[in-house]
Amino acid sequence: MPGAGLFHDERNMLSLPDGIRHLPAYFDSAEQQALVDDIRAVVAAAPLYTPAMPRTGKEMSVRMTNCGTLGWVTDKERGYRYQPTHPVTGKPWPAIPERLLSVWSEVADDPQEPQACLVNFYDAAAKMGLHQDRDEEDFSAPVVSISLGDACLFRVGGTKRNMPTTSFRLESGDVVVLGGEGRLAFHGVDRIYAGTSPLLNNGGRINLTLRRVKRPG
Ligand code: SIN
Ligand code: FE2
């Protein structure tokens, strides 16, 4: 079939770049609801805030917070980094909920616990440009991504920005693992499909990414 390799077909996982795994409907609706309850508690302790790009200070359309011993943050002055405290409240990030630690142990194939969980909230207009997750010291562990709420159009490519990309829909309850050769794959979110999930009362999409930040040992 001409061009078939360019498209991710849910019946044919082989069409994704090496090291990228899409696990559709990993969570049923009760599990998704429990995860949302966990994230509500995280957000109550560590409120969502609007991050800004390095140098330009341009605000991102996604709102963020974290849980874990470290959280990923960005601002105009100091750029992309991990830090142990919330940039607005100055308080330590809340712990990663047990349920998320379990997901990591099920899919990450890494003996250590994740240190950071970035919580991204997308409203109907939010998106995220193509980027690599490369602010960690060590890339031996994967990044594990969980989608909740409205669906999105997710794009993933190779380890160079100009490599071809594949786009596919991520639905509520889906998990994506960026590991091995896919750990440094460029990826982003082109659009949100508003109103496609009843999970969040006011709509929108939550994405959780579990990461190892420091070198093991
Ligand atoms: C991210 O790359 O941090 C988020 C990816 C997503 O929202 O699916
Ligand atoms: Fe990312």
Asked whether 65 lines ligand 1 (CB < 6 A), one says no
pLDDT at 83 over 90: yes
* Among 64, 187, 211, residue to substitute to test ligand 1 (most atoms within 8 Å of Cβ): 187
Cα 128 to Cα 60: distance, rounded to the nearest angstrom: 8
pLDDT confidence bin for 9, thresholds 50/70/90: low
Cα torsion 206, 53, 160, 179: sign: negative
pLDDT at 14 over 90: no
Ion ligand 2: residues, CB within 5 A, are: 133
pLDDT at 177 over 60: yes
Q: Tens of pLDDT along 27-54?
A: 999 999 999 999 999 999 999 999 999 9
Average pLDDT over residues 141-159: 98
Cα 52 to Cα 27: distance, rounded to the nearest angstrom: 32
Asked whether 209 lines ligand 1 (CB < 6 A), one says yes
Q: Which ligand is nearest to the CA of 155?
A: 1
Which DSSP symbol is given to 29? H
Ligand 1 atom nearest to 170, measured from its CA: 8
Superfamily of chain region 11-211? Alpha-ketoglutarate-dependent dioxygenase AlkB-like (2.60.120.590)
Average pLDDT over residues 56-80: 98
pLDDT averaged over the chain? Answer: 94
Ramachandran angles phi, psi of 121, nearest 5°: -115, 125
pTM for the full predicted model: 0.94
Q: What is the pLDDT of residue 8?
A: 56
Cβ atoms of residues 120 and 196 within 8 Å: no
Ramachandran angles phi, psi of 34, nearest 5°: -65, -40
